[in-house]
Amino acid sequence: MSLKHAARHRLASCLTLGLLSLGYQSGAQADVVYVSNEKDDTLSLIDLDSLEVINTFDVGQRPRGITLSGDGSKLYICASDSDTVQVMDLATHRIIASLPSGEDPEQFVLHPNDQLLYVANEDDALVTVVDVNSHEVVAQIDVGVEPEGMAVSPDGKWVINTSETTNMLHWIDTATNELVDNTLVDQRPRYVEFNQDGSLLWASSEIGGTVAVVDVSTRQIVHRLNFEIRGVHRDKIQPVGIKLSKDGRYGFVALGPANHIAVVDAKTYEVLDYLLVGRRVWHLAFNSDESRLLSTNGISGDVSVIDVDKLKVIKSIKVGRYPWGLAVKP
Amino acid sequence: MNTRISAAPAAVPGTGPVTEPASREHPNGDHRQDQPSDSRLVGTDVGTGFTAGLPAYGHCFVGILMREYLRFVQQRSRFLSSLVRPLLWLVVFASGFRAALGVAIIPPYETYITYETYIAPGLCCMILLFNGMQSSLSMVYDREMGSMRVLLMSPLPRSWLLLCKLMAIGLISLTQVYAFLALAWLSVDFDPPLLGYITALPALFLTALLLGAIGLFLSTHIRQLENFAGVMNFVIFPMFFISSALYPLWKMREASEWLYWLCLANPFTHAVELVRHALYGQLNLLALAITAGATLVFALLAILGFNPERAAGGGKVKGER
């Protein structure tokens, strides 16, 4: 970053700092965050007001992907080594059910109908569709080798799965639960995220070191993001988690062992900044008013909290070993 | 302020002396025994039972401060060099380690930081360190040039004169520290909270006093200007490197246990930590206690060890050799 650019950036942020920080301080911050700790078989509960861990719960083995039910009363937990998706009642923090997820569930996505859960089974090259009410498997869809990332379009029409070894995005039509198309991306796609209106899809490629932006209507790549961090070797830049702000302003990309989160202008695709967080940053989540972004840093075992307006990391909170997934409850 | 100074000829701008030599008959004498009878100077009865009022102390401080200020203004290259040195460390040295240090969170930081952020408080203290030592250099210079003799003509207690000198140097140094902080803020990834710049002020001033006192203490043991260069190497560099200015103490401990203990024994380490915490609006009590204690000890040692005979007359010192 040139001196002049830095100066301009800093002066601008300084001017807006006073006013905006007041606005965001009073924002809805009574949120709590659930963090799955892959190695500890626990969930950590963080209060976003005090930025402290307020509770820890034991769950199934190797918890990874976690997501809230539509009404926020239940938390679905991929207990990968228990080969199940656990359902936690958030009023009592007890496991009330285990869903048949197929083997080794890692990432999953809940359809907007709040009924169907699409689970990637890494070892079986399958996507399993589970009904969360009847606890039954509705369908199993063959996909590429090592399925990983999952996303559902805002209108619920598409479910996207990435396969790490086949290097493809698989387009699943939710009306028929069939695979209808594939898009080839760079090596080892890990995560996919739709933008707010569902017109674009961002997909990270861990080994390729890129993020592909795909037009949903044509299912073609329209842009490819590259990253470069001063003082960090290129091989260490391994994009995984992605979050796009609802206002369409920013895209955040977790860069794995590069220990940084890239801030991307979601309109021009220009990388604006790199934020230093803990070691091996994998997944990201916004709080409810999107004033804060959270990241799980696996190796350093903490969660970094980013002020989205100032684009500044404000705290890193120690959680369990190898934090993986995040779910924010308003 | 200027009118007050010109009313009482305490400071003669540019020429160096702070107080007018009131009694030229006793250049080497102890000022407390043979007091000058210039009532204009202090505005009180300065006969044998001399008692200086508060205004006199104020005049004296302003005079010494003005002299340090003029010296500072006239030596622009010194100001620049005091800025260039830490900036080189920050921009060149620290950028190489930029991503190397973000591996552990230590107070006062709440998250991972770049090396530039880590090193900046240490570099502020580096400015104070060089200034503190340079001030003692100037004491030796004053002694050799004879202006120290003039200063000691003042009827005020010697300890007050030295304290004024320390405070004046400290205040002047603060300007340089804040100039550096502004440049650091502009050039690299260093942005403590705005309030931190205010809370850091007393910490920086105390650090300036500490390093000035150490410099003063050293200057009482240096007979000649030429000897000073050696002391710079034996004092400034070890003090700076064997401290937490460049690397956190846990990193030092990884390297070697004795190095860690040496760092802990170095008052400069605690001064750096005091400033580091203050920059983030936090008070490190241990660092404050050690920095304040060390300041007191060195100031006392400097004042007690200050030999007016040697300080006042260069000729006598040379004669001793």
Which of A3, A278, A312 is nearest residue B112 as measured by Cβ atoms? A278
Please answer yes or no on whether B99 and A313 come within 8 Å at the CB atom: no
At B296 the pLDDT is 94
At B99 the pLDDT is 60
How many alpha carbons fall within 13 Å on the CB side of residue B310?
15
Please answer yes or no on whether A316 and B111 come within 8 Å at the CB atom: yes
Which of B98, B99, B111 is nearest residue A315 as measured by Cβ atoms? B111
B280 touches chain A (CB under 8 A): no
When computed from its CA atoms, the radius of gyration of chain B, rounded to whole angstroms, is 21
**Nearest CA of chain B to the CA of A304: how many Å?**
7
DSSP B94-125: HHHTTTTSTT---TT-SS---HHHHHHHHHHH
| Buried b / exposed e along A67-106 (16+ C-beta atoms within 10 A) | bbbeeeebbbbbbbebbbbbbbebeeeebeebbebbebbb
Asked if B311 and B26 count as a contact pair (C-beta separation under 8 A), the reply is no
Task: For residue B51, give every residue at least 6 positions away whose Cβ sits within 8 Å of its Cβ, in sequence order, or none.
Answer: B44, B45
When computed from its CA atoms, the radius of gyration of chain A, rounded to whole angstroms, is 19
Angstrom distances, CA of residue A139 to CA of A116, A176, B75, B307: 10, 10, 82, 95
Tokens encoding A134: 């009847």
pLDDT in tens, chain B (321 residues): 333 333 333 333 333 333 433 333 333 333 433 344 343 344 344 444 456 678 888 888 888 888 888 888 888 887 888 888 888 888 888 877 766 655 568 888 888 888 888 899 999 999 999 888 887 777 777 777 777 777 777 778 888 888 888 899 899 889 999 999 999 988 887 888 999 999 999 999 999 999 999 988 888 777 666 666 676 778 888 999 999 988 888 888 888 899 999 999 999 999 999 999 999 999 999 999 999 999 999 999 988 887 666 655 544 444 343
A140 vs A143: CA distance, rounded Å = 9
At B51 the pLDDT is 64
Angstrom distances, CA of residue B115 to CA of A13, B126, B266: 22, 16, 22
Q: Regarding beta strands A200-205 and A189-194, do their DSSP bridges make them parallel or antiparallel, or are they unpaired?
A: antiparallel
At A309 the pLDDT is 94
Stretch 180-199 of chain B: residues touching chain A, C-beta under 8 Å: 185-188, 191, 194
Stretch 232-261 of chain B: residues touching chain A, C-beta under 8 Å: none
DSSP letter for B44, please: S
pLDDT in tens, A181-209: 999 999 999 999 999 999 999 999 999 99
ipTM for the assembly: 0.72
Residue ranges, chain A, pLDDT below 70: 1-29
- To the nearest 10 degrees (0 to 180), the angle between helices B54-74 and B76-88 is 70
**Nearest CA of chain B to the CA of A59: how many Å?**
28
Task: Collect contacts of B289-293 with beta carbons under 8 A, ≥24 apart.
Answer: B291/B206, B291/B207, B291/B210, B291/B267, B292/B206
At B265 the pLDDT is 93
Residue type, B225: L
Average pLDDT, chain A: 89
Asked if B27 and B312 count as a contact pair (C-beta separation under 8 A), the reply is yes
Put simply, whether the predicted model's pTM sits higher than 0.80 gets the answer no
